[in-house]
Amino acid sequence: MLRRSLMIHPADSVVCVLEDAKKGDTVRPPDGAEVTLLEDIEFAHKVCIKDLKKGDPVYKYGEEIGYMLTDAPKGTWIHNHNMGCDRGKK
């Protein structure tokens, strides 16, 4: 099932789902390429729309919001279990 999602800036590497989504559902970023979700993702959480490698920056709002702690193929749920952030720590 196609789920609603929001992409804030064209440089973003993630979209936010606007409703609870299940593994196998899809999202369609503005570029039109559907991304199949690899796991269940709750409302307002992030999913990567491109393959990300460990150490890669994560972009949301056109800004870097953190970095990947692990490799994540497109369709992966992005949250604090696989994304680090140094904001406020330095």
Going 8 to 14 to 16 to 17, the CA torsion angle's sign is positive
Q: Is the pLDDT of residue 89 over 80?
A: no
Rg (CA), the chain: 12
- 1-90: CATH architecture: Roll (2.30)
Q: How much is the pLDDT for 32?
A: 78
Give the pLDDT mean for 1-15.
95
DSSP 72: B
Q: Whole-model pTM?
A: 0.91
Q: How much is the pLDDT for 31?
A: 81
pLDDT digits (tens, 9 = 90+) for 33-82: 899 999 999 999 999 999 999 999 999 999 999 999 999 999 999 999 99
